[in-house]
Amino acid sequence: MDALQLRNFKDFLLLYNQISEMCFKKCTNTFLSREITSDEELCINNCVQKYIYTNHKIMEIFMEVQPRMVHKRIKEINMAQTAASEAQNQVKVYMDDILLATPSTR
C-alpha cells in the first residue's frame, strides 16, 4: 500500500469514527437493552445519511475550488519570483553604476 492509499484509508477511518461517535452520542437514549430501538435506528440512519451527504457536498465543492486555489497560488509565486528577479537586476545595475563611477586606484 503506497503512502497516498494509506493516507486515504486513515482519512476514511477517521471520518467513519467521527460519524459513528457523533451519531452514537446523538441517537443512543437508553442502555437498558442490548437491542437498538426503532427510534434509535431511525435516528442513526438519518444521522449517518446527513453526515455522508454533507461530506460528499464538501468534497464536491473542494474539487471544484481546489484547482482555482492552486492556479492562484502559482500565479502569486510567479509574481513574487518576477519581483525578486527585477529587484536583483536593479541591484546589479546599481552595483555596476557604482563600480563605473568609482575611480580606479591602480
Give per-residue pLDDT as tens, 46-94. Answer: 999 999 999 899 999 999 999 999 999 999 999 999 999 999 999 888 8
Structure-model confidence comparison of residues 99 and 34, the more confident one: 34
Q: What is the sign, positive or negative, of the torsion defined by CA atoms of 101, 102, 105, 106?
A: negative
Which three three-digit cell numbers place residue 48? 449517518
Cell of 61: 465543492
Overall pTM > 0.85: no
pLDDT at 105: 58
**Look-up of cell digits 437498538:** 36
Euclidean distance between CA atoms 51 and 100, whole angstroms: 71
CB 28 within 8 A of CB 37: no
The string of pLDDT tens digits covering residues 20-37 is: 999 999 998 888 888 999
Query: Model confidence at 106, in pLDDT bands (50, 70, 90)?
Result: low
Would you state the pLDDT for residue 102?
74
Q: Mind listing the domains of the chain with CATH numbers?
A: 19-101 (1.10.287.810)
Nearest in space to 36 (alpha carbons), one of 47, 46, 48, 24: 24
Distance CA 28, CA 36 (A): 8
